[in-house]
Amino acid sequence: MAERVSCSMIIDIHTHIYTEETYQTYLSKTKGRELKVLVMAWHEQNLEDLLSFISTKNNLFLVGTVNIESNINEQLEKLEKLFREKKIFGIKLYPGYQYFYPSDEKVYPTADLCQKYNKPLIFHSGTTYSVDKKALFKYAHPIYIDELAVKFPKCKIIISHFGFPYQLETATVIYKNENVFTEISGTIERLSSKEDARDILNQYIKDLSRVFSYYPEVKKKVMFGTDYSGEDTSLCEVAPYIKLVERVFRKDEQKNVFYSLAENLFFKE
């Protein structure tokens, strides 16, 4: 049973809802809440297919992506058009999977574009999931966001997954740079037993509480996210993330995490 949440409005800033079936199972897990859901495009995916699926749902919002290994300018031209048409609400990059640092010059034109449209630039950060095990952690370490954040102080940057397991490093980068934010998604996967599920939630609560005792200000720069990817994947949890927010953040802080900050970063004109 999902627990009642104090804030009935939720913006989930990190999902991979690509099909009707995934959309329906997600809805069944978030019943009774007013939702806005951001869907992360993947660089190997057909963007047109994704755009046409998203256009059939009024609460799904797409975040585009750039395949850093192919023609960047050509892709940015398309993305700029989509920003203008309000069909995308940010751009996500995948450094660990595509072997580049967030501080690499190759990223600059994308940061420029996000800055121009005042929309977030999101980095997959921290641990990587790849079937062929070829993704490299060094590129996904949150420390490399720092340099880009200093270079583009007007570009809003989001470190995904709280940089897990580098949460303290993530908070250090966020604390130092006004334009850097994070979200809590992806760390809690489906586990086989209730005990394991309880243990990981409790550990995550402890880890974030530790981070916030060093950096209380960072609490204001955290958003809700699940990384929901469908029931046929291990990333299919919603309720534990809601519980996490309720346990780590005070009541008067929760609205910002569940809703207000994301509303500001993604949807404010």
> Minimum distance from CB of 77 to Zn ion (Å)?
25
Tell me if 164 sits within 8 A of 128, measured CB to CB. Answer: no
Q: By CB neighbour count within 10 A (0-12 exposed, 13-18 middle, 19+ buried), where does 10 fall? A: buried
Please say which residue, 38 or 82, places its beta carbon nearer to Zn ion.
38
- Concatenating the DSSP letter of every residue in 229-260 gives --TTSS----HHHHHHHHHHS-HHHHHIIIII
How many residues touch Zn ion under the rule CB under 5 A: the total is 1
**Residue 246 is a binding residue for Zn ion (CB under 5 A):** no
Angle at 43 between CA 221 and CA 54, to 5 degrees: 75
Angle at 100 between CA 99 and CA 104, to 5 degrees: 170
Please say which residue, 146 or 227, places its beta carbon nearer to Zn ion.
227
In the window 224-243, what residues touch Zn ion (CB under 5 A)?
Answer: 227
> Minimum distance from CB of 269 to Zn ion (Å)?
27
> Minimum distance from CB of 69 to Zn ion (Å)?
19
Residue type, 116: K
Angle at 130 between CA 51 and CA 92, to 5 degrees: 40
68 CB neighbour count, 10 Å cutoff: 19
In the chain, the N- to C-terminal Cα span, in Å, equals 37
Please say which residue, 12 or 227, places its beta carbon nearer to Zn ion.
227
> Minimum distance from CB of 185 to Zn ion (Å)?
7
> Minimum distance from CB of 41 to Zn ion (Å)?
11
Please say which residue, 115 or 124, places its beta carbon nearer to Zn ion.
124
Which residue stretch of 86-94, 131-139, 147-155, 223-231 sits at the interface with Zn ion (rule: CB under 5 A)? 223-231
Which residue stretch of 141-149, 169-177, 222-230, 246-254 sits at the interface with Zn ion (rule: CB under 5 A)? 222-230
Total residues found in the chain within this entry: 269
> Minimum distance from CB of 160 to Zn ion (Å)?
7
Residue nearest Zn ion, Cβ-based: 227
Residues that bind Zn ion (CB under 5 A): 227
